[in-house]
Amino acid sequence: MSVGKTLALIFSALFIGMQLIPVERTNPESDPSLEIEAPAEVKAIFERSCYDCHSNETRWPWYSNIAPAKWFIARDVKVGRQWLNFSEWEKYDEAKKEKLKAMIFKAVGLAMPLGTYVKMHKEAQLSRKDRDTIRAWTGISPEEIMNNPKRYLY
Ligand code: HEC
């Protein structure tokens, strides 16, 4: 057998083998009363741009069935939900909500939604107006931001 054919066989076997590694991709059940209560325009932005990783209502794309993509996607969803889960927001206490609001204020300035995700989901990109809407919802005052710029701005 030629070197080319041997390599092709090895890579096919590896690719098939990768597919057999199990990855958890679930949308856990959660009490609907725990979902975030926010004005409709705010919630709509979260649903469009954040829910795939920060809720229990992930829309798993077709390529999330295929390794290696599925490993990265499953990891982003798992870690994303651990940080912030809009489906379970109302079970956070006030202190945690305030802390998360501060993190959201900052994250929408640059980090979120993740760039790799936006490449595949152009509609998730936040407009300036989306950003302003979310930031206004956090209720964080301009004085607070001026006094702690590192906490809120990149
Ligand atoms: C593709 C998945 C994905 C999407 C979409 C996404 N996030 Fe995240 N988010 C993550 C992951 C993964 C982390 C964990 C930290 C990290 O890996 O950077 C995270 C962390 C966070 C954090 C806490 C840590 C930090 O970096 O500030 C906040 C706040 C956050 N995301 C807000 C949002 C908001 C708001 C949106 C929508 C505008 C959003 N995310 C969209 C995956 C995502």
How far, in Å, CA of 114 to CA of 124, rounded?
10
CA of 111 to the centre of ligand 1 (A): 7
Residues 126-143 have pLDDT tens digits of: 999 999 999 999 999 999
What's CA 5's distance to the chain center, in Å? 41
User: Cα(21) to centroid of ligand 1, in Å?
Assistant: 26
pTM of this structure: 0.95
Helices and strands, number each (H, E), in the chain: 9, 0
- pLDDT for 1 equals 84
Q: Give distance in angstroms: CA of 94 to centre of ligand 1.
A: 20
Q: Where in the chain are the domains?
A: 3-152
Residues in contact with ligand 1 (CB, 6 Å cut-off): 49-50, 52-54, 76, 79-80, 83-84, 103-104, 107-108, 111-114, 117, 126
Picking from 115, 93, 101, the residue whose alpha carbon sits closest to that of residue 46 is 101
Residues in CB range of 110: below 8 A, 6 or more apart: 154
How confident is the model over 94-111, as a mean pLDDT? 97
